[in-house]
Structure 1
Amino acid sequence: MLKVILIGTGNISRFLFDVLNVHPSVDLAQVVGRNTQALEYFGKSTPVSRKFDNLMEADVYILAISDDAISEVAHQLDIKKGMLVHTAGSVSMEALPAELRRGVLYPLQSLSGSIPEKMQEIPLCVEASIEEDYSLLEKLAYCISNRVERINSEERRQLHLAAVVANNFSNHMFYLASEICEDQGVPFDLLRPLIRESCNKIMNLSPYEAQTGPARRGDQETIDEHLEMLKESSLQKIYSTLSESIQTTYGKEL
């Protein structure tokens, strides 16, 4: 049985806690964090602590905290044996103390604290320094998901960028679309079937193949009309954000 200590109390910690705490191959021995109120969520079934310098012994210590705090907190931990891993997409493994066995366990998913649907399909990107630690980390990762990939720090950094573009940027476009609808007094709800179908298509087609509309048809007149509509005073607040994106997307020869 793998003995695991979870450091942090945010969304990723809650997700990992909910999954690992009920897994028969994992002993989730302790949760450590500074937020006393947040620790109450974990303390109902697992020992908790606010002390980073007095950790129990474990096979794996999972540092699930904000990216900019990883290096500072990692160097404060008193770990005598076991492996320390962080969960960030954009932070190198080198941010962890060199004298420790170290690695990365990065779930490639937007997590809100609850267990997502189709959890077993969530890619887990792992990195370690030696084969023995890769084996340990993969053993833990397969307790969470059926898809585990070895991804180094530079590959993960680029993958994280792609994930932000695909997820966060797309969601911001949905927000801008909702602003247009609100400005014109039409319900955004009318767009939901279109958004759902677009997301469904991308599961089976490449983004290039899934492209439709004026871009696919080469309809420059409609493209120009859309750009002019965005210049109208009532929509000026989103013109600068959308115009370059539209030019880039529509400008490609499809």
Structure 2
Amino acid sequence: MLSICREFDLATLKQHFGRECRNHLESALYTTPGRFFVKHPLAGMVIYKDEFVQVHYMHRPPCQLTAASEGNIETGITITGTDSLVLFAQTEHVNHQTFSVVHDAAAAPVLGPPSNGDSRSGDFVFLEGGRQGMRLLQGDAPTSMVVCLAALPRCESTRHFSLRTSRLAGCTAASVTDSRLQLIAAALAHLCGNGAVSSLLDLSHHPTTFVRWSALRALYQVDAESASTRLSEMREDDPNDEIRNLAARSLEQG
């Protein structure tokens, strides 16, 4: 991953973005193939993608110019399901925190204490999918990063944690296909009739753990009795330990 990120040095990035600008200026119909994204205060785009990796270029302007301090606003951190490597580029100095997920068979996963670090151009941070995440702290200097993400997830779900409580706030599917199935399950939860129940029951047997559990939660909204019956089955014979534990706790809590 590091060698891939280093292929996108400053000269290469300038050529890439210069070519994109020329293409847009020369044709009003030109569409940039890379996907743009903005998640304040970060903005960036996909600059390379193949069957193994996806490479993003991301930039954060000086925070003092864009937003006030967080104050009491609830903030969170996302632990992606894929391995990733962050290479800092054109960065004089940036402070950051890395977090690890603490797993306990008897309880839901939580965030461990942060590990503080500082980086500059040429430094990198590797984050293990499903276990580690990072956030940038406020700074008065611009920060640029080249981020390489593995195409195949190490963990089935991407988890979202509250920084205030360190508790799990929600999950989304790590893979695109599973994410679509998650959306389908959510849509079926708002449909009435036996067809929706049957489809959700089928999805609750999907080989992907996250899809099974999402389907079960959606099923509960449509048919609580069928969901309870399926939950009892999952408590006894689901192949995943975490699902069995979740099913047992759910049944105990009624």
The TM-score range, normalised by the shorter chain, is: under 0.3
Q: Which has the higher contact order (CA 8 A, sep 6+)?
A: 2
After TM superposition, the score normalised by the length of structure 2 is 0.27
TM-score w.r.t. length of structure 1: 0.27
Higher CA-based Rg: 1
Q: Which has the higher helix share?
A: 1
